[in-house]
């Protein structure tokens, strides 16, 4: 009798204990910390990394490693720094083939691919023209048509010769100058994400100047990574919330970086066909699996305009676009697949 009543009391207590232990285990298993790097200056803009991990030390180590990778890419691929590997290529590759490291080779090969894919709207050899406009930004005097014409003659990705076997770069035209400004930020974002994933953290986000990619468990215990799509007329105004999981997004906008020369607004994106700034769209947002794709394609579509740009994006599986033409009221032109990313 007595043992039976004890049993009756012990059993529910055991069940309750097991349930508590189970709950505790579940909570510990899913417990995460979120670490935010805040703004870091790199590649002529701001970078930010968010890491979601089970362990604070793991989060810190992963973040530091990812940041170090980004700084390292900047050191090698900047054309502002005369000592970078890219600057050495720009100085010497017309005379003889220049050997480069695996990553620079990878970016150059991808750049040529996007140049080809966009029919030269994105052109990684736009450097000589960009240099002229950069000078104009400092002096306030626009380049002459003759100067632009001369610079344009040195532009053409077809003249960038990549030797896959020896990892060398050769220019087949004099005066060539490679500018990775439209693609290196995206590449660095992908490399940062790769480091975070290899470190085994649960989730993360890397953003370099509006080139952003996220993966895994979102920060702050919300079900998705959400990214605001800014109104081109006012950076504070968010036009839509993009719901992104394991995706990259980039927005090119004429409001972000431009220069006024002789009263005229010039975007920092150049149409290689005219050597003038490309300004038909107010904002171009591209969503794709990788940030190198969104970076290069947002620059390409800015040059191509809405019709040709949309046709290009629709021809690439897994890539979507949201365009905002210039005008008083912002309206969206989207690929059908873009809707799945817009939070209703």
Contact set with ligand ADP (CB under 6 A): 122-124, 126, 130, 179, 181-182, 209-210, 250, 252, 256, 268-270, 272, 295, 298-299, 303
Which of 51/124 has CB closer to ligand ADP?
124
Residue 330: which of Mg ion, ligand ADP, none does it interact with, CB under 5 to 8 A by kind?
Answer: none
Encoded tokens for 322: 């949201």
Give min distance, CB of 166 to ligand ADP, in A: 25
Residue 269: which of Mg ion, ligand ADP, none does it interact with, CB under 5 to 8 A by kind?
Answer: ligand ADP
Which of 182/309 has CB closer to ligand ADP?
182
Furthest C-alpha separation in the chain: 107
Residues in a beta bridge with 244: 225
Q: Are 256 and 233 in contact (CB under 8 A)?
A: no
Give min distance, CB of 41 to ligand ADP, in A: 15
Give min distance, CB of 140 to Mg ion, in A: 26
CA angle, 297 then 298 then 301, to 5°: 80
Give min distance, CB of 161 to ligand ADP, in A: 18
- For residue 18, report the phi and psi dihedrals to the nearest 5 degrees: -60, -40
Please name the residues in contact with 131: beta carbons below 8 A apart, sequence gap of 6 or more.
151, 177
Which of 216/253 has CB closer to Mg ion?
253
Give the DSSP H or E segment for 320: strand 320-325
Task: With H, G, I as helix, E, B as strand and everything else as coil, classify residue 26.
Answer: helix
**333 vs 62, 283, 286, 307, CA distance in Å?**
38, 10, 12, 10
Residue 205: which of Mg ion, ligand ADP, none does it interact with, CB under 5 to 8 A by kind?
Answer: none
Give min distance, CB of 116 to ligand ADP, in A: 12
335 alpha carbon, distance to own chain's centre: 20
Which of 61/258 has CB closer to ligand ADP?
258
Interaction site with Mg ion (CB under 5 A): 182, 295, 298-299
Residue 74: which of Mg ion, ligand ADP, none does it interact with, CB under 5 to 8 A by kind?
Answer: none
Give min distance, CB of 295 to Mg ion, in A: 4
Residue 181: which of ligand ADP, Mg ion, none does it interact with, CB under 5 to 8 A by kind?
Answer: ligand ADP
Task: With H, G, I as helix, E, B as strand and everything else as coil, classify residue 55.
Answer: coil
What is the C-alpha to C-alpha distance for residues 302 and 270, in angstroms, rounded to an integer?
9
């Amino acid at each position: 009798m007595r043992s039976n009543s004890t049993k009756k009391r012990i059993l529910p207590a055991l069940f309750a204990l097991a349930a508590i232990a189970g709950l505790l285990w579940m909570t510990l298993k899913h417990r995460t910390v979120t670490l935010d790097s805040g703004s870091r200056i790199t590649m002529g803009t701001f970078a930010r990394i968010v890491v979601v991990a089970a362990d604070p030390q793991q989060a810190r180590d992963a973040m530091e490693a990812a940041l170090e990778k980004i700084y390292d890419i900047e050191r090698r691929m900047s054309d502002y720094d005369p000592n970078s590997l890219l600057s050495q290529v720009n100085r010497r590759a017309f005379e003889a083939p220049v050997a480069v490291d695996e990553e620079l080779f990878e970016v150059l090969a991808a750049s040529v691919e996007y140049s080809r894919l966009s029919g030269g709207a994105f052109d990684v050899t736009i450097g000589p023209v960009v240099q002229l406009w950069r000078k104009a930004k400092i002096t306030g005097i626009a380049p002459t048509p003759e100067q632009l014409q001369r610079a344009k003659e040195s532009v053409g990705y077809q003249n960038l010769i990549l030797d896959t076997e020896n990892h060398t770069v050769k220019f087949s035209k004099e005066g060539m100058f490679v500018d990775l400004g439209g693609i290196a930020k995206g590449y660095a974002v992908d490399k940062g994400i790769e480091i975070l994933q290899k470190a085994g953290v649960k989730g993360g986000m890397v953003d370099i100047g509006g080139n952003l990619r996220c993966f895994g468990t979102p920060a702050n215990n919300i079900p998705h990574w959400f990214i605001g799509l800014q109104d081109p007329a006012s950076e504070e105004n968010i036009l839509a919330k993009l719901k992104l999981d394991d995706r990259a997004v980039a927005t090119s906008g004429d409001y972000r970086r431009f220069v006024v020369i002789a009263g005229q607004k010039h975007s920092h994106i150049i149409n290689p066909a005219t050597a003038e700034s490309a300004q038909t769209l107010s904002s171009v947002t591209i969503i794709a699996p990788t940030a190198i794709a969104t970076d290069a394609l947002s620059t390409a579509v800015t040059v191509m305009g809405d019709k040709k740009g949309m046709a290009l994006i629709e021809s690439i599986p897994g890539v979507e676009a949201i365009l905002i033409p210039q005008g008083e009221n912002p309206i969206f032109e989207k690929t059908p697949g873009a809707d799945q990313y817009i939070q209703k």
